[in-house]
Amino acid sequence: MTLPRVSIQTEDFDLSTEIAALRRANPGVGAVCGFVGTVRGQDTGDAVESMTLEHYPGMTEKSIEAMLDAALQRFDILGARVIHRVGRLLPCEQIVLVAVASAHREQSFRACEFLMDYLKTQAPFWKKEQTPQGARWVDARASDDAALARWAIMAGSKDSAPRPTASPIKQSGHGP
């Protein structure tokens, strides 16, 4: 059974299981690089009690699939997997996995970093942190845009997906 390249889910994921599946998928794999992002318990000096992640079903998967296609064109990789969780998450819980397989480590490292930079700035996700002072939407950081720019992709360029700026629920006046 072939695993999907992209999964958007509420359930947690198992890093060992995902890495093993990438290794088994191709006998030419000599390196697998993985990145796991977690919910921080503190952001900009404030305690974070939880983070809620929202997305556009269908659009989000399509956007990430396009990112994976771009990575396959730029780097000599044999496979990749992105899992991104949505819903309410607590500090220390896993949010995202980016895993890349290649014959040699350099390509896996570079492709993993490229995908994470692209994902962080271009994927249509919205994050809301709950702090003791109340809820707040998490804005994109200039440092994330700079990381994407080193790949010769500018936020908002034709090579990038529309940039999420606020929750679609918040914009429509529905919901929280």
The 10s digit of each residue's pLDDT in 98-122 is 999 999 999 999 999 999 988 888 8
Q: How many CB atoms lie within 10 A of CB 38?
A: 12
- 164's CB contacts (< 8 A; 6+ apart) are 123, 124, 125, 126, 140
Backbone angles phi, psi at 87, to 5 degrees: 100, -165
DSSP 103-138: SSHHHHHHHHHHHHHHHHHHS-EEEEEEETTEEEEP
The 10s digit of each residue's pLDDT in 53-63 is 999 999 999 99
> pLDDT 10s digit of each residue in the chain, 176 long?
566 899 999 999 999 999 999 999 999 999 999 999 999 998 878 899 999 999 999 999 999 999 999 999 999 999 999 999 999 999 999 999 999 999 999 999 999 999 998 888 888 999 999 999 999 998 777 676 676 777 776 555 544 444 444 444 444 333 33
Angle between helices 142-149 and 105-122 (to 10 degrees): 140
